[in-house]
Structure 1
């Protein structure tokens, strides 16, 4: 009699086409019950799939109410998790990676069938066709975020993207300017229309979006304070004022005398531009007005700031760095002035002091100065009189009474009495290798020589005694 499966155990049977099929009722993420079906060429294969599904049901893990493909799920993730809960810039970057990379390569795969091997092969193909290591990390980052959301919403049991191995990636160190190069740039850009903005970038290490997002209500001339509260970004084709990314980015800075001066000049310049524009002025015209605007009162494009920055560098032959490199330069200047790392972190608006360490750089002159301090501490006598040491070293090779073994002088005798020494009496190098030995080593050699002589004398005495004894015995009476 055939065994009948109990309720909830599922069933396995053979289809007319020769394959095996299993069926099991489970609870879905929508709260409804659904009948899952599994197919395979052997009964063992189907039984394994059924057992896995049954175990998940017993653990209380609901089954997805839809058989997602990777492509359609990524669109769902962008709409439900990224667009509504992340910054517009984050959505734009994630959407581009999904559209250009993930959907063409993985879009047709079943979401539940996505494996480590499948993703590994996909990323390996991208790398083989010229995709950089940095881009691979960004692609995996976006895919991993999507699969994490799938695990959180109980569509998957694990995030397989985290198990994928990527080639070693070492980010290039950002280029930055020394203090002298910063001074050259500020001097060269004094006549540029964006000079006031460049002063703020150099002085406070602000981000491009932050300096373009400063409003007049953020500048407190009475208390000498500068508040960083928002930034300007291009979203959906238009420049918009948006909140800063993190709480640490929202910070208050002291309004320094130089910053106060350039901002007052900027306010006068903007008032003239507003009066000239008249009714065509597109700014708010009140204290919520942006500090840095175009001639028509609109926010300034990031690319226009970068264009002016590059033009100044090219015209005055200043080494070109990125605009963000000014932020690195500010952090490095503060470090060189012995500003504590925690204070630099607060000024730059970093959430972690480790991030601040990435922005701090050490140039060759600072390295040389630091290592020369070490050299001076450990080799003070050699560093202080290196020329005299070289001269004495050359003299030590000459056949003088000090280093010539055939000459016995008071100084040479003194050398033999020193407990431990290296080289000659003045601690310099010498050509006489015996002078590199300690007194104990020298005495040990002398004692060994005396012992050998005593042994030879004893043997000679014994041989003489034996010879006399034999002579007495053979002599006739």
Structure 2
């Protein structure tokens, strides 16, 4: 009599064509149980596949309750995940990339059968088709975001898009305006209807943040500007939406020149009943594309180097850096989430600062008495702390250290060593002498302690 399989063990039988078929009930992502089937040329192969399926079920790793094709899952992801939780512009970008690139190339593949090799071949085809490396990075980012969601829903075991190799992303060479070019531009737009808007660009505002400003965001009483929303074009619509990141929500000081420019704009051009500060002559929102075209037209008409409106944010970051404003303050002004974005992307080098630094270094190396070089190379230190060799003057602290007094520490924002540590590094002989004295003192006290222990033990024995 044939043995009956126990519950959950699964079944294996041979089909008429000679192949083997196996089946077992497992848990699905919806919480129900489903009978899955596996196939193989031999009984041992089917048995191995069943064992793997049962092992995952024992580990509470569910299987999909329906066979998802990547294209179908991308449609679900856009509708149920991206659209309700992301900004309209983000949804529009993701939808375009899915429709034009991902679905035509990979949409007919089962999502749980995507492999690194398959996705890598598809990416290589896109690169060979003439698409830029930056575009391929964006496409891979969208696919990876969708597969990450599928991984969280336990539809796949790993995100293969993260394992695909791409060439390094090509970063555009951005050359911001100099202070002289900024002055020429502001002079050129001094009589323009939107002079106040162009002036406020040099707060480092994003284009959408500037065009989305409301009169209620201009706090004249407290001399502040509240950045709370942005205006964007999405498809054929101009929409008011949330800011790019949480750090974009910020308050900036209302400077006097900006206050006067806004007052003049309000008296001459403000439309009664309009909520937005900057509007068209009819009172509607300004199209960001039209604002950019007008900006470039002004630059061309006045022989200014043509840049984008967004490059002004790079200009602001670079000019603030040249004025030795701390990076943290620049980050808060621009509304970046991470300070590394401010430092690596928005701050650019300038010839003047590099020349001054190298001249200062050359002066200190070639002429030790050239004290001005020390000031140029290390501008963060007070002048009273610089000696004739371009180093911190530590004679007073050194004397205190030798006498056994506690010295002051001045480590801080400029990442300069504290006086004691800097002195110890630059005065090896004195530090070694001090350490030798400490060692001798410890050895003397250890000997005294040992003699005391011996004396106590002898006294105890005598008393006994």
Please report the TM-score for the alignment, with normalisation by the length of structure 1.
0.74
Task: State the partner residue of 1:354.
Answer: 340
Cα offset, 1:240, TM superposition? 1.6
Question: In structure 1, which of residues 306, 319, 324 is the aligned counterpart of residue 305 of structure 2?
Answer: 319
Q: Distance in 2 between matches of 1:75 and 1:13?
A: 38
Return closer, same or farther for 1:353/1:3 CA change in 2, 3 Å cut-off.
same
Task: State the partner residue of 1:457.
Answer: none
The alignment partner of 2:12 has SS state of strand
Question: In structure 1, which of residues 363, 374, 391 is the aligned counterpart of residue 350 of structure 2?
Answer: 363
Indicate yes or no: 2:307 matched with 1:308. no
State how 1:261-410 maps to structure 2 within 5 Å.
261-271=260-270, 273-274=271-272, 285=273, 289-357=275-343, 358-380=345-367
1:203-248 alpha-carbon deviations (Å, 9 max, x no partner):
x010000000100000011211110000001235221211213221
Which has the higher mean CA deviation after the structures are superposed, 57-66 or 44-53? 44-53
Task: State the partner residue of 1:234.
Answer: 233
Given that 1:11 and 1:23 are in contact with CA atoms closer than 8 Å, whether structure 2 keeps it comes out as yes
Q: Distance in 2 between matches of 1:3 and 1:364?
A: 86
Q: Distance in 2 between matches of 1:270 and 1:18?
A: 86
Task: State the partner residue of 1:255.
Answer: 254
Q: Distance in 2 between matches of 1:41 and 1:183?
A: 79
The alignment partner of 2:85 has SS state of coil
Given that 1:266 and 1:291 are in contact with CA atoms closer than 8 Å, whether structure 2 keeps it comes out as no
Indicate yes or no: 2:72 matched with 1:72. yes
Task: State the partner residue of 2:112.
Answer: 112
Return closer, same or farther for 1:46/1:320 CA change in 2, 3 Å cut-off.
farther
The alignment partner of 1:21 has SS state of strand
The alignment partner of 2:84 has SS state of coil
Given that 1:176 and 1:329 are in contact with CA atoms closer than 8 Å, whether structure 2 keeps it comes out as yes
Task: State the partner residue of 2:132.
Answer: 132
Return closer, same or farther for 1:119/1:48 CA change in 2, 3 Å cut-off.
farther
Please report the TM-score for the alignment, with normalisation by the length of structure 2.
0.76
Return closer, same or farther for 1:130/1:335 CA change in 2, 3 Å cut-off.
same
Q: Distance in 2 between matches of 1:297 and 1:130?
A: 44
Task: State the partner residue of 1:99.
Answer: 99
Return closer, same or farther for 1:97/1:46 CA change in 2, 3 Å cut-off.
farther
Q: Distance in 1 between matches of 2:95 and 2:160?
A: 21
Task: State the partner residue of 2:165.
Answer: 165
Indicate yes or no: 2:230 matched with 1:243. no
Cα offset, 1:44, TM superposition? 4.4
Q: Distance in 1 between matches of 2:279 and 2:55?
A: 63
Aligned Cα RMSD in Å? Answer: 1.9
- Which residues of structure 2 form unaligned runs of 5+? 372-464
Q: Distance in 2 between matches of 1:232 and 1:335?
A: 29
Alignment: residue pair count: 370
Q: Distance in 2 between matches of 1:47 and 1:245?
A: 53
Given that 1:120 and 1:164 are in contact with CA atoms closer than 8 Å, whether structure 2 keeps it comes out as yes
Given that 1:232 and 1:240 are in contact with CA atoms closer than 8 Å, whether structure 2 keeps it comes out as yes
Q: Distance in 2 between matches of 1:237 and 1:9?
A: 58
1:95-136 alpha-carbon deviations (Å, 9 max, x no partner):
111111110010000011111111111111111111211111
The alignment partner of 2:248 has SS state of coil
1:124-149 alpha-carbon deviations (Å, 9 max, x no partner):
11111112111111111111111111
Cα offset, 1:16, TM superposition? 2.3
1:351-396 alpha-carbon deviations (Å, 9 max, x no partner):
1111111211111222112111111111127999xxxxxxxxxxxx
Q: Distance in 2 between matches of 1:290 and 1:40?
A: 68
1:242-294 alpha-carbon deviations (Å, 9 max, x no partner):
121322111001000111011111211234x54xxxxxxxxxx16xx100001
Cα offset, 1:330, TM superposition? 0.5
Cα offset, 1:45, TM superposition? 4.1
Q: Distance in 1 between matches of 2:124 and 2:191?
A: 51
Given that 2:63 and 2:154 are in contact with CA atoms closer than 8 Å, whether structure 1 keeps it comes out as yes
Which has the higher mean CA deviation after the structures are superposed, 188-197 or 327-336? 188-197
Cα offset, 1:322, TM superposition? 1.5
